[in-house]
Structure 1
Amino acid sequence: MKNLILFLSIGFLILSMGEAFGATNEGNNSDAPFGYKVEAKQSAFKSKPTVKIALLLDTSNSMDGLINQAKAQLWDVVNKFGYVKCGNDTRPQLQIAIYEYGNDNLSSREGYIRQVIGFSSDLDEISEKLFSLTTDGGEEYCGQVIQTSLKQLDWGKNEDDLKLIFIAGNEPFSQGKLNYWDAAANAKEKDIVVNTIFCGNYELGISTKWKHGAILTGGEYMAIDHNRKVVHIVTPYDDVILQLNVRLNRTYISYGAMGATKMAMQSTQDQNAEAMEEAVMVKRAVSKSSRLYSNSEWDLVDASKKRDFDVSKVEKEQLPQELKNKSDKEITQFINSKKEEREKIQKEIQELNSKREAYLAKNQKDSSKGELENALLSAIQKQALKKNYTWE
């Protein structure tokens, strides 16, 4: 009996050591005996690559036009990624971060730099942060804001991720104590491409080192007229898309502590887009019909798509008034009906948008597109090809 107990104890000890050793080697591909387990985990991780874009925007006095273009053209960038596929036919997630720099209202100790929002997939919150930006004079330190974004943001280590920085401004790229060469070297180490957008004359941007700042990481140098007004083409499909957007909003079921606040934010960002121009709201509505517009943290329809969703665990007092006294079965039925309605509306918007894009292709000249939009999308597509990303 003693021998049996001893044998079982030794077996249990060996098993425990094996599990512990396996845990410490998870993610390490160097040990062949544990390769199968590691490869399976890495494969699962790699099946969900992410496009990470950090926008570093100069918010000094002269940059009102740049900020307005960013507000108007956020949805063009989002909509472009609605059609992207990775090499293994999966669709990547999109995360956007925003920094502002060169503004007198910012802390001089921080180099007149502020993280407006870290990497986020919350498109409403990203829009809200963009619309909160204001301009004021200041010192513009390109090398320092690049380095700050490299240190503060979670860029991850997935080789399939597309990691891009876009820095826009109009002062010499070499300003500040931190050498932009060093920032570029750090970016390259992390497989991050720095693209530079000079707001002004192309040759002046070259002479003030903006082109060199991009070349160091294999990025693109672009010069734009940031004060140019974006010309939006009206199409025969816009009104119907806007009507569908109103119906789309009615399919959202807020829940949780932030539910009501987030639903109000959704409405406010609709108003912000529409206040700029009707066509901007149309683009936002198209984004809201895509897979990239997901609000599982506050909307029960999106939350119900998660594998671990359990309607019985949702606190009744955090539900909308019309659901508080309903049974779990009734709530589930209500969610499913809204989900079905939403999918139908989203499909209609996507179909109309296909016709809208065909109309724009026929009637819109390249010169009528937004300057910032052209710069961003041109660089993104070129660099995405290197990661084996394709567009449908």
Structure 2
Amino acid sequence: MTLIINNQEVQQVLTMEDTIAALEQSYLQLAAQEAVCRPRIDIRIPISDPARNYQWGTMEGGSTAGYFAIRMKSDIVYEKEYKGVLTQEKYCVRPGLYCGLILLTSIENAEPLAFINDGYLQHMRVGADGGIGVKYLADKDAEVVGMLGAGGMARTHMEAFTRVRKIEKLQVFSPTRENRERFAHEMAAKYNIEVKVCNRPEEVYKGAHILAALTDSAVEVTDGALLEKGTHIVVVGGSGKPDGESLKRVDVYLRFGDTPAPTGHPELATDAEHIGYEARPQQGKYGDGRRDRRKHGNTLPDRRVTLADLVAGKVKGRSSPDQITYSERGNLQGTQFHAVAGKVYELAKRAGLGREIPTEWFLQDIRD
């Protein structure tokens, strides 16, 4: 039988500890050539509304550990301005609804094992990446988080940070007062920490050991002029990287890795985070491959270390409390989903969760 696992069931079984462990293992398997993935690829097509466009996004990968997965997203994408901040928005069918699915298969007999809603898992895997970066590169005594953003990504990042460091204080800014105040109250209660609600984004930087920019902004939101010595930087959203001034100040840059080139075609290797194919390519569109998000790749090659080399002791990470550090996943989205979805499948099976449907519905006797 094939399982259908929804977001609520994923939330019941998937812990941040499991997510961090699964992702670390998948990145190391990829470096050891025991796993494989390709970069995320988006297809963008203009629609009847010139202010919006269709985007189909996929990322896929698998490993000798037993699973293959592809994540699929079907979105209408557009941008809007709110209180002076330009944000990227998306929906499926109507605003407030989204279509994101993971198909998990067995590499042993090719069986379709599960279809999994990607919403909760998506937030967990991105938050876990932030936690892995903090685990390996933030100062060992880091305890103050400065956060730009107060949504779902902010919640899972806080969960990840508290798993790898003893966090004592959070300083948070979000453009909407109600959102930042609600988030602050929630985090104070959940983690028993001091929380400062900031009325200006500049306030989150003061005394912060970890700066986390976690927004839907379509442009960069960090300010390198405000970074204090010893800060570790995590960025989700915006251009996908810190602003130029922050990058100038980074001493050590941890990029978990890069997708391998296709077998026999080394010339097709890429470190791009977003690869897009478009109908009417000269026509303006929105999406993760637009607004200079097509490729930032290895942002600081002269200061880069990889996760595999760091774990193996081949390179050093942070060497002093005053260094400014920055971590990001790289274009490894494809290797994330087989690892975390495989874990979710095992846990859901063990807990008796998920809706069973006949695997035969997906099989046929006509060779393709």
Place the TM-score, normalised by the shorter chain, in its bin: under 0.3
TM-score by length of 1: 0.24
TM-score by length of 2: 0.25
More helix by share: 1
More strand by share: 2
